[in-house]
Structure 1
């Protein structure tokens, strides 16, 4: 594949990111790869059939249009699935004016992946084979183990908890159940969950199943279609350790209900559940209150943003890994320090920066210099985003300033010394976060959204007429944003 094609692919991804936004791009397109370009056909691949199906249904024309924006001669895109032992299924997207005609070739059913390295859970009765087909585990990346996970202050607690889960033996009392890890994109959630799965595979004693939320949805929908839901339930609940990644992508009322039943059954049976998401349980608005409560009742751990020291350690670790395959790959220490200081968003951007340097080194044979690094990673150097304010922080700081407890703010007390701070906290939650009025009301003791709206309007009116109150609120805002 020529450098020109790769450069066009990079620009196409840039177009997609600009059109659909960072969150959607990270969810659906980050794992799409260019396989080749033949005449008027572009061959792309994704790691799962669910991902292929979703892109086919929702973004087929957009992907084709972005390619045609870079190369007008492209008339067809083949999208295949990168799954070991599975003949790729291709999605053909043909340009025909404003309409993209989509054709799909039939593909054989893939067997389960990543259940203790077996084709299905150990000891599973033969009657459950249909359920196994529906709930085959998501593929595991061999690079994502505990050995390659770099520990720092931002992730040490999550790492320690994950190691505790991985080290447990069948029959041991479950210490953290569920273990709930949340963090922004690219901070290592998936790495930790897959590391637990690899550790389980190595031990061989426990049945370990790693599923992305999209795979859970796919398996459940498939079991409904094939009338094998009982087998689906059996396979899930016969595992000793169930790992669910990207819970925020769980979709569908019936799927939520099935996840709730599975979660309760696993915990009640003393089986380990580990969940990862991009936000804490109370912020997952699509989940039922009982599920949120069950998730929050375990150990909830946040993985914070990487500091510069941790970013440098990650880069050094990745360079060492790269040298096992490319012995002559050398990145001077000042260049690594520059990348660690400049690329601050997440670990995937750090990987991307190193991959660009590695590609340049292998393709041109030229040494890596500071000038080269500055040129290659300039689009990864993002402006610092303003600090995200959490409702819990607002409640804590407002309670401290007005000498009440956080419990008072969430209570039904109506005394003047509690009502005003509560209204101020609601007002700040509405103006400093993206949470909806119903969500804010729920986070303030289950209040109705009209109560929140009244509080917001009340404080807005007072701020316009009371200079001292306005100054107090500005002081609270500064403290929250420091």
Structure 2
């Protein structure tokens, strides 16, 4: 997993504190994030707000940042007023919220060196030495493997489609050498590595390779590691976020260069698409599907990452989901405690190299591994909090100091994310019917009851809307789902045996 970026004290230096409480803006922000997560739910928070960060708090404005213009536009259009209200409620001071796009120029320096972020541009003429550390020293530009990628600017909106098709920025630290292995990510790592190390011209083994997991578990790390490794072996590799793909396609249409855009993407060896859940729009999905088919039919490798499996990407058309599910689908599970501890040790050591005198004792790392979140970003946030407290107050990092500093980051373990597929599997097995029976149009009593119970559980245990649940149950109308939910609710109130049966099914689904 990625080592943490350094936290510089100015980022946490309060310009104005809330209600003269002495609480730093960073602490206010962490509390607001917790409230926001509880208010909108884990799925929505992970998709849209997990990468929203506090840059600084001024006298009249709170400055937040996100990594992409797409996220900025969505948050400004839907939640900026709510964020302003939450900041006022938390601090007692009314401030405007400004959301900006982070760029390589304003982000913290890389851990090992200060190389610019880069994108894969063309196949290299030399293979990089295997003894060279990819994390510390990316391939030289002379080898034509990568080219510097400048920070986004206002002129980026007028970039040529061919530039967009060249790829999104790559981080030189995200390589296989810096990826920390554990039980939860071994299969995904092995599959990605095998794909990356295939010789140029070799037929793909897993195509497409589809990686899915919630945020912060290493999907982007693996995709970019594949990009670096593939390019070093002579492959023409392009790494694109879904946002970048959409932007490139729209820009190509506006500049009447759609054919050039398509040709540029379909002439490569390996296409890597990140955050596919953000791919929206019928025309955009059709173009992606055509590109996917063209590359796979030509024997080219495609790797996709998203925050959920293909079957749960309801915004995508059935034919796209079917094509994605036809390859190898691998889930990166939440990090187990041992793996979290390994990641913390590696990142704490990296911070100690950059900040003289900063040291985190093993008992503190064990405390964080046990109690702070389930993702690498949660662990980064905890270490950054300790670093900020140590640097700003001069207090050494001890177990007592750590318990106080990160107590607002410690929360009960997140409940298991329940999937409709899990509900269908458990209900079908319990009532001795098949999944196909539940999704079919059959109306016999032995099928209708399990179907209605499954719909009730889907509404009770997931965050999906009635129309979404209806689509997952054979394309039924949302009124059918609503009828099923109300009927089972009524039966539970009068039938104790059924109530116990449904409680048992809930436990089975959550196991």
TM-score, structure 2 as length reference:
0.76
Taking a change above 3 Å as real, the CA distance of residues 224 and 83 of structure 1, as seen in their structure-2 partners, is farther
Who is 1:105 aligned against? none
> Residues 167-182 of structure 1: matches in 2 within 5 Å?
167-182=197-212
The 3 A distance-change label for structure 1 pair 51 and 468 is closer
Q: What residue is the counterpart of 2:141 in the other structure?
A: none
Rounded to whole Å, the distance in 2 between the matches of 1:272 and 1:2 is 41
For residue 8 of structure 1, the aligned residue among 15, 18, 25 is: 25
The CA distance in 1 between the partners of 2:245 and 2:161, in whole Å, is 12
Q: Name the CA distance, whole Å, in 2 between partners of 1:73 and 1:392.
A: 45
Matches within 5 A, 1:18-417: 18=35, 23=44, 27=48, 30=51, 32=53, 34=55, 47-48=67-68, 79=100, 82-83=103-104, 113-116=119-122, 117-118=145-146, 130-203=160-233, 205-326=234-355, 328-363=357-392, 365-417=394-446
Question: What is the distance in 2 between the residues matched to 1:458 and 1:56?
Answer: 40
Partner of residue 106, structure 1: none
3-state secondary structure, aligned to 1:476: helix
Alpha-carbon deviation of 1:114?
Answer: 3.1
CA positional deviation for 1:448: 4.6
Displacement, 1:291?
Answer: 0.6
Distance 2:81 2:212 in 1: 33
CA distance change for structure 1 residues 283 and 324 in 2, over 3 Å: closer, same or farther? same
State TM-score, norm by structure 1.
0.80
**CA–CA distance in structure 2, aligned partners of residues 248 and 78 of structure 1:** 22
Give the unaligned 5+ runs of structure 1.
86-110, 121-128
Does structure 2 conserve the Cα–Cα contact (< 8 Å) formed by 1:32 and 1:45? Answer: yes
**Which one is further off, 351-360 or 66-75?**
66-75
Instruction: Determine helix, strand or coil for the equivalent of 1:468.
Output: helix
Q: Alpha-carbon deviation of 1:75?
A: 8.5
Please tell me whether the aligned partners of residues 416 and 510 of structure 2 are also in contact (alpha carbons under 8 angstroms).
yes
Give the 3-state SS of the residue equivalent to 2:13 in structure 1. helix
Whole-angstrom distance in 1 between the partners of 2:485 and 2:422: 18
Coordinate RMSD, CA, aligned = 3.6
Task: Give 1:292 shift.
Answer: 0.9
Aligned counterparts of 2:177 and 2:246: Cα–Cα separation in 1: 31
Cα distance, 1:416 vs structure 2:
4.0
CA distance change for structure 1 residues 31 and 191 in 2, over 3 Å: closer, same or farther? Answer: farther
2:491 counterpart of 1:475: no
Conservation of the 8 A alpha-carbon contact between 1:246 and 1:276: yes
C-alpha distance in 2 between matches for 1:139 and 1:10 = 31
CA contact (8 A) 2:87 2:94 kept: no
Residues 63 and 138 (structure 1 numbering): CA distance in 2 closer, same or farther, change over 3 Å? farther
Structure showing greater relative contact order (alpha-carbon pairs closer than 8 Å, 6 or more residues apart): 2
Distance 2:442 2:97 in 1: 64
Distance in 2, matches of 1:60 and 1:251, equals 22
**Residues 1:199 and 1:322: Cα distance change in structure 2 (over 3 Å):** farther
Q: How big is the shift at 1:282?
A: 1.4
Q: How much has 1:311 moved relative to structure 2?
A: 1.1
